[in-house]
Structures are given as C-alpha cells and as structure tokens.
C-alpha cells in the first residue's frame, strides 16, 4: 500500500490494473485513436465487464459516477498542487510522478467513459464535435499565440 492511500483507493487501483492486463491479454485487434491511447469502446467494454463481474451495476448512476470522477480529478490535481507551473511539465515526464499521474488520469478517463455510457453519450464523437466547434470559434488567423478569452 502506498503511504497515505486508503484501502479503497488501493483496491480501485489494483482493479484498474487488472482490467488493463485483461484487456492486453484479450488479443483482440486494437484500434487506437492516438498512439498509445486505447479506443474508448474498449475502455467502456472492459469497465462494463469489471462492474458486471462484481454485480456493481446498482451503484452505476450518473450522480455517483460524476462524484467519483470529481474525486479522481482531485487526486490528479493533488499531484501538481504545490509544483511551480514551469516545473510541472518536466516533473510529469519523470518517475515517480509520471506513473502516479498516469494512474490518476486513467481513473478520470474510466469514470468519464462510464458517465458517458450511463448517459448514452458517444464521447469520442462529442469530443471531436467540440474540437471542431472550438476551431470555428477561435480561427487560427485571429488566435495564434493568444490565450483564449473567457467569453
């Protein structure tokens, strides 16, 4: 157990690792949306199987998943909380912070994919639509090198 980690956090971490290993061992053809990033459908299906195996479906309502997601965002934030901004980028590429951040990012992603699953949202399509909308909102010729406004 890691110093300061609750038994629930450690159990969740171990479960996610097991799901990851099970997916890797499944031998199914993988379609990656980015190099090193698994397909969201694969993550959704692995998470569904993990939940079903434990008969945890009754705990999978949108509010509960959202609160778990927010908790995981907090755990990710905690890793960077007191790092100077200019130091965070390099430290995130070094161990042990790299692995810890990857674990918390995975927790966030798994819960976000689960929330989308509960709500019937095609998360990949929704994300691509938002990127397109942002590209339309912030044309490159007017926004290159300029921080986005808050309007």
Count of residues binding Mg ion (CB under 5 A)? 4
CA dist 47 and 65 (Å) reads 12
Sign for the CA dihedral angle at 33, 78, 112, 55 comes to positive
Instruction: Choose between 4 and 139: whose C-beta lies nearer to Mg ion.
Output: 4
Binding segment (CB under 5 A) for Mg ion, from list 19-27, 78-86, 98-106, 126-134: 98-106
Q: Nearer Cβ to Mg ion, position 72 or 117?
A: 72
- x-or-dash string of contact with Mg ion, 36-55, rule CB under 5 A: --------------------
Instruction: Give residue number: closest CB to Mg ion.
Output: 107
Q: Smaller CB distance to Mg ion: residue 42 or 75?
A: 75
* 80 vs 143 by CB, closer to Mg ion: 80
Three-state SS string over 66-113 comes to HHHHHHHHHHHHHHHCCCCHHHHHHHCCCCCHHHHHHHHHHHHHHHHH
Which of 40, 69, 106, 107 binds Mg ion (CB under 5 A)? It is 107
Q: 3-42: which residues touch Mg ion (CB under 5 A)?
A: none
Q: Which of residues 53-82 bind Mg ion (CB under 5 A)?
A: 72, 75
Instruction: Please list, in sequence order, all residues whose beta carbon lies within 8 angstroms of the beta carbon of residue 60, skipping any fewer than 6 positions away.
Output: 51, 114, 118
Of the candidate spans 25-33, 88-96, 100-108, 129-137, the one that interacts with Mg ion by CB under 5 A turns out to be 100-108
Q: Assign 51 to helix, strand or coil.
A: helix
- CA dist 100 and 91 (Å) reads 11
CA distance 90 to 98: 10
The site for Mg ion (CB under 5 A) is made up of 72, 75, 104, 107
């Amino acid at each position: 157990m890691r110093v300061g980690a609750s038994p629930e956090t450690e159990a969740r971490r171990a479960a996610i690792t097991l799901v990851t290993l099970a997916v890797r061992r499944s031998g199914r053809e993988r379609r990656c949306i980015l190099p090193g990033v698994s397909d969201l459908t694969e993550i959704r299906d692995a998470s569904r199987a993990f939940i079903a195996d434990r008969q945890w479906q009754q705990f999978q309502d949108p509010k509960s998943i959202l609160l778990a997601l927010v908790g995981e965002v907090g755990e990710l934030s905690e890793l960077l909380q007191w790092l100077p901004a200019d130091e965070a980028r390099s430290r995130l590429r070094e161990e042990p912070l790299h692995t810890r951040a990857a674990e918390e990012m995975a927790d966030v992603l798994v819960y976000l994919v689960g929330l989308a699953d509960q709500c019937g949202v095609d998360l990949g399509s929704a994300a691509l639509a938002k990127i397109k909308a942002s590209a339309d909102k912030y044309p490159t010729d007017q926004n290159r090198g300029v921080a986005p406004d808050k309007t």
